Structure 1
């Protein structure tokens, strides 16, 4: 679909002037869109404006009775997803400085992790990470693949060790992959990082850059990347079509290490279609689902209770 046509359909949808056929055309575009690369990138200001409009529209359209199956198009509300990442796989007490997280290779969901320093990690199945606080340094040893969104603490460098490569960041988002002993790849989505190899050779990376280090030959290859493609794996378990809410809740249980319960059991059968980037926190996901479904949620420790009127009465 051409950009002008898409802009027109979105605006008519927001203005509630789109015909049924135009609404279906827009819905079909989202269903067919793979999301591996954004064909129509927006500036931060444009994303913020679009997110605010969509959130306002969703709020005005909430219906608690006789609702049809709901589609959650998170890409349009991405700028609204600015919440706290609430869930962790360990205690966040100050004395808890050495933390280990892993996920079995056979797992069907990625694992979302919130570090004590407010950094966020999405861990790929089959991966393991060890987080430590050593003096003023924050250090992680990674095996496998992970997406990092590092909280900026200039006085506390964040160092990620992968094989013979060390990556130092102050505040940025990046993807690191090391599935075997042959190579390590570091991809920067935002910010700036410094990659140091076994021979102490240093490489500075900025957004949309990747370095691949061969640990046998010490060869370094730098390439340009498309961020959405690099972290496409992170959303593999956050794409769902007409999925019963109960099944989605079970998926979120495993992904965020929580226990979701339904105060109104009838909600379990409501079908949901949605697409998220995979880097959102549980609270961000629940905010969008609640706005769209007209439901509410409460959090007590690691238990989340969903409530509201069922989609069909």
Structure 2
């Protein structure tokens, strides 16, 4: 039998039932699954019945999961293994045992027969260079690494793509209305483009930048969703403005990182060189190199603090640097680049603080092994899903 994400979903529901923390959706999913076959019903009854504990343990011991069971023994206590209250006290380890994450084995009862299956651990590849370009007429072109493309907009702008990125800086002079283009990176993609004024923009994964093919107004305005590193060409007469989710960042000539994903609670501008002003409603802050301005969407507050800028800009030079980040924040960041899904089995795992310096272009498997070696978490991969639990 192939181990699937569905099995892990059912295991999570079973753990929730142990503590009475199941949701209505859990109950609906559980009922649906139980109705699929009599074997499902028998399996559930046998596994969740405390009176069957010792028999279940003997069956599971066949798969050499003594380490997982020893952890349960410490929590349950040898003399009270049959009491429901003892089972409720080990929800995290119930989840670990139900899915057997650390052992990499899924078990199934069929009468007296027990089967075992060792899942294949698939390599999670790093992201790549690529983007989706939307032209002024709405046509879409996928630009990929090592694929050269040359296009021409009606305003005379030559759009040239190569292994480095897209270049808008070469154009013929043609009088026409402003034409907007959009470059979007998908999950696991990054891209670099040079705007018509020579400004370089490095787009992180899941990022969209909308901009004119040729700046013609007093202000050079672009619109960002996601994360980008900007190296802005200095032009005092024409300030460069980035608009993003109700916030504006105004610069002259500078290098800075702007992170503004719609599913995150904050918008952060980190300044490397030059000078930047960040505006949000009635709030505004100017920052100098080595500072970061953070706008909190829920409260509308904006704060400025000194930071190590390399922590926030290393991604565009091929590194991930984390310093006391929570594992939840770290996984959110890595998932956009590696295109992996993940699920935390317990709240404790989310709050673990991690420090690491990683190569962005390696596959993700060494990162997973590094996290395991901390001894703080168990991580098991099933297809493209990572299941994460704390070891304490």
Q: Which structure has more RCO (C-alpha within 8 Å, separation ≥ 6)?
A: 1
Q: TM-score scaled by structure 2?
A: 0.36
Task: Mark the structure with the bigger radius of gyration.
Answer: 2
